[in-house]
Amino acid sequence: MINKAKVANNHFNLGDSFYHIATPAKFPRHILRFRNDRAAKLLDLDQLNDNEWIKYFGKFEKLPGCLHKPLALKYHGHQFGYYNPDLGDGRGFLLAQFLDKNNILWDLGTKGSGQTKYSRGGDGRLTLKGAVRELLATEFLTSLGVPTSQTFSIIETAEELQRNDEPSPTRSAVLVRRSNSHIRIGTFQRLKYFNEYDNIALLLNHLNENYFTNLKSKKNIKILAENIFLESVKRIAESMGRIVIAGFVHGVLNTDNFNVTGEVFDYGPWRFIEFANTSFTAAYFDNNGRYSFGRQPEAALWALTQLGKSLDEFIEENIIIETLNQFSKSFHESLKKHFCWRMGIQDIDSKNLNEIMTILLNESEKNKIDYADMFYDFYGGRDSIIDCIKTNYGKKYKINEFSKIVDILKETLPAKGVLEKKNQLDNNRQNLLIGEVEHIWREIDQNDNWEFLHQKINNIRKLGYLLESEKLVNL
C-alpha cells in the first residue's frame, strides 16, 4: 500500500496556550498568480484544480481532516536587540498541518490573511510586491541548497494598500508558505516570560515527536532539553553557513524570525550580494548594521543565546555555554562543506578556505569581483580555473590579493560529475540582485506582465537541477 499525505492537527492539540483562534479576511477578488505544484506534490495537493486551490488557500475553507479554525500563533521576541512582549501572528496564521508520505510534519502558514489579536494596529495585509519578493527568495535559496520555507501559493486579492516603503496605493495579495514548523526561538521566550514551564516541557516533547525525530525520546525532560538545544544550535549554524555561501542577507534576524528547526523563513527586506562586503545590509532601517551580511552568524549565535536563557530552568548554565560553543564548529563545517558543493570541488583545507573568505570579504568590492560569478567561473576546480585565467575575462582574478585564491583553488579536484555540467551551468548563470528584482516587479505592476517572473523561476529551478540541490533540501 502506497503511503499518502494526510492532514494532521498536532499543533492544535498542544492547546490554546500556543495560539489564538483567528478570523480570516474576506477579499474582494481572488486571482491565482502562483501555485507551487512541486511543493504541493509532497502533500498530495498538486491535483487540486484552481478553484479548489483558491477555496482552500484564498478563502481559507477547512481542508478535509482539519479540526480547527486558523491559529494565530503566540510568541515574543527580541527585535534589533530589544525585547518585545507584544508580538504574535499579526497578519498570518497556521492554516493546516500535513504529514507527508515520509511521515514528516509540514505547516501551511499564511501571510497577509487579515488582522488578528496581535496585529497591533496593522491592516493584516501583504503587498503583492512583498509576495513576489518572498517567492523569488525562497526559490533561489532552494536552488542554492539552503533549507528554507517554500512559497506555496500567491493569490492577488484586489485591495489597495497604503505603505510608507512602497509607492502607494499598491496591490495586495495573500501568500501561503510550506514550512518545517513555525516554532520560533520567540515561542520559547514567551513561555519563559510567563514562567510557563509545563508548557515549555510540552513543547520540547512536541519537537521531539515531530521535528527532532532523530533524537531518541527521553523521559528525563532535562536531558531532552539539552539534546534539543544542541540540535537547534547545530541546525541554525548549518543554515548560517549555507546562506553565507549563497551570498544571502536575510535582513531581519530577530529572535521571532528564527525557526528552531533551522529552516530559514519569513522574508522581508532580503538581498543577494553582488560583492562580498561584510557590512552590506538589506534593511534600510538597519542603521547600525546589526544584520549585515558578515554579522549574520553573530546574530544567529545571539538569538540562540536567548533560546538558552529560555531553557535555563531545564539546562544548567555551564551546559548552555558549552552547547553555544558548538556553534562556531558547526558553522565552519557547514561553510566548508557548502563552499565545496557550490564550487563543485571534492574538498578544501579549512585554513585555505579561511584565507579565501578573508580575501573575498576584504577585496571583492574593491576589485569588482562578482561573488556569484566566481563560483560559476571556477566551478569544478583546477581545470576550470586554468581555462578561465587564460582568457581576457579571467585576467581580473590574477590581480592583487586574488591571485592567492587562484593559487589555492588550482590545487582542488572536481567533484564527481560536475565537469559534465560546466557548459550548461555557464549558459544558465543566475543571481538575484535588486535591479533584476525591481525589473520583474515593474513589469508586473505597470504592465501586468508575469512572463519575466515565470522565466526567472524556470531558470532558477534549472540551476537547482544542475546543482542537484534536491539532495540538500526537501522539495
Q: Are 152 and 40 contacting, i.e. CB atoms less than 8 angstroms apart? A: yes
The phi-psi region of residue 369 (left if phi > 0; otherwise alpha if psi is between -120 and 50; otherwise beta) is beta
Q: What is the DSSP string of 260-285?
A: TT--B---SS-EE-SS--TT--S-TT
- Answer yes or no: 387 catalytic: no
Query: Looking at residue 446, what DSSP letter applies?
Result: H
**C-beta separation of 161 from 127 below 8 A:** yes
CA 402 to chain centre: 31
Give the orientation angle of helix 326-343 with respect to helix 221-246, to 10 degrees. 40
Cell numbers of 5, please? 499525505
Sequence-distant (≥ 6) Cβ neighbours of residue 448 within 8 angstroms: none
Q: Name the amino acid, one letter, at 42.
A: L
Cβ–Cβ < 8 Å for 442, 450: no
Q: Which three cell numbers stand for residue 36?
A: 507551487
- The residue from 256, 266, 370, 377 that is catalytic is 256
Dist CA 198 CA 191 (whole Å): 9
- Location of C-alpha cell 501559493: 153
Cα torsion 356, 359, 363, 367 to 10°: value is -40
Catalytic residue IDs: 256
